Amino acid sequence: MKMTFLFSSQVKKELREFFDIILFLNLLGVLLSLVSVYHWFFNLFDQFLHVYLYVSLFLMFIFLILKAFPQIFASLCLSMFCALSFYNTNVKVVNSDLNSKFNIYYQNINSSNVKLEALPLAIQNTNSEIVALVESTVAAEERFLNLNEYTKKLSLPRDDNYGFLILGKINFQVNEIYEKFGIPVYVRIYIEKYNLRMYLVHLPPPLWKDAWKIQQDTLKKIVNEINLDRPQAFMIVGDLNMVATSNQFKNFYKEFSSPPYSQELFNPGTWPSFMPAYIRLPIDHVLSNKKFSLKLKDSFGSDHKGFVIQVAN
């Protein structure tokens, strides 16, 4: 035989056919992500633009080895489209050191994990005046009983991953607890000392019809409230269960009459799965019309890392 079995024509043909199917499925995923804002069923495809980009680059390399030139061109075009969409978030970014600031600690604590016993001390060391936690349960809140300096408290513990806990060294007013389909999805507070309206948000993952409707209605309500009262300083912080590159997030951001600041695309990387975490693709978001910087902290056993928001005073 003039060539090994590995490089035989038959093997190359079978490999090409196999990777052609992968290329088609990758293209289908990209196309479905484009229509995801119109129907709940396609919303999940919208969250994996980074995956389509990696797969396209990998396929381009494979087809280059196989000398399948039409497929090389198709993979190149697809990867370029994904890359342009990936970085075209059009958000107003701020992430710099601030001379005068106050700190807010935020985390989705996924409170079923016992490692949270180290979190209260870590929070104390951040010198945060407000602590905002989601996925809080009764058992989790017992760990924070010794934080005596936090005299103001809003406790909404639940065992279905939709609990809230807000602690304050300074006074804050609870203006609204917004629910959809029996699920609390955000808490709106007013921090008097800094004249700041804050939305602590936890949206459900986009895996079923009601979750998609909750996302749509909640984000629309928040944007409308903010647009009606533009001079008011505001901050939206929480687990929106969508990545910054998704069409849903981009469309949400475009609805603001005055675009708020957002975190850098890759900071903080709190997504639990390996590859998005490796490239620091955010699923927890901060948007505000006040300048801020972010300091990423440990996960303490949760599948989301915590972070300190340093807000311009």
Q: Specify whether 204 is located in the same domain as 254.
A: yes
**What is the per-residue burial (b if ≥16 Cβ within 10 Å, else e) of 33-58?**
beebbeebebbbbbbbbbbbbebbbe
Range of the structural domain that residue 77 is part of: 5-87
Within 10 angstroms of residue 178's Cβ, the number of other Cβ atoms is 16
Q: Specify whether 81 is located in the same domain as 114.
A: no
d(CA 236, CA 298): 21
Q: Specify whether 17 is located in the same domain as 159.
A: no
Q: How many domains does the chain have?
A: 2
Q: Specify whether 54 is located in the same domain as 110.
A: no
User: Tokens in use for 250?
Assistant: 């981009």
CATH number of 163's domain: 3.60.10.10
Q: Specify whether 262 is located in the same domain as 116.
A: yes
CA of 126: how far to CAs of 7, 103, 123, 292, 301, in Å? 58, 8, 5, 15, 18
d(CA 83, CA 287): 23
pLDDT in tens, the chain (313 residues): 444 445 678 888 889 999 999 999 999 999 998 888 777 778 878 888 888 888 999 999 999 998 899 999 999 999 999 888 777 666 777 656 667 789 999 999 876 554 777 888 899 999 999 999 999 888 888 888 788 899 999 999 888 889 999 999 999 999 999 998 888 999 999 999 999 999 999 998 877 778 888 988 999 999 999 999 877 899 999 999 888 888 888 889 999 988 898 887 666 677 655 555 666 667 889 999 999 988 888 888 788 888 899 998 7
Chosen domain end from 22, 56, 87: 87
pLDDT tens digit sequence for 269-304: 776 555 556 666 678 899 999 999 888 888 887 888
d(CA 225, CA 240): 18
d(CA 109, CA 242): 17
Q: Specify whether 169 is located in the same domain as 288.
A: yes
Chosen domain end from 69, 87, 105: 87
Q: Specify whether 53 is located in the same domain as 130.
A: no
Q: Specify whether 293 is located in the same domain as 190.
A: yes
User: Tokens in use for 237?
Assistant: 């912080």
**Strand ranges in 90-171 using DSSP code E only, listed in sequence order:** 92-93, 101-108, 130-134, 152-156, 164-168
Within 10 angstroms of residue 157's Cβ, the number of other Cβ atoms is 17
Q: Specify whether 51 is located in the same domain as 114.
A: no
Q: Specify whether 129 is located in the same domain as 26.
A: no
Chosen domain end from 42, 66, 87: 87
Q: Specify whether 59 is located in the same domain as 146.
A: no
Q: Specify whether 168 is located in the same domain as 287.
A: yes
The set of residues, in sequence order, having a beta carbon less than 8 Å from that of 46 and lying 6+ positions away, is: 33, 36, 37, 206, 242, 246, 247, 248
pLDDT tens digit sequence for 260-278: 988 876 666 776 555 556 6
Structure pTM? 0.86
| Helix boundaries (H) for the chain | 9-34, 49-66, 69-87, 119-125, 138-141, 209-228, 247-254, 274-278
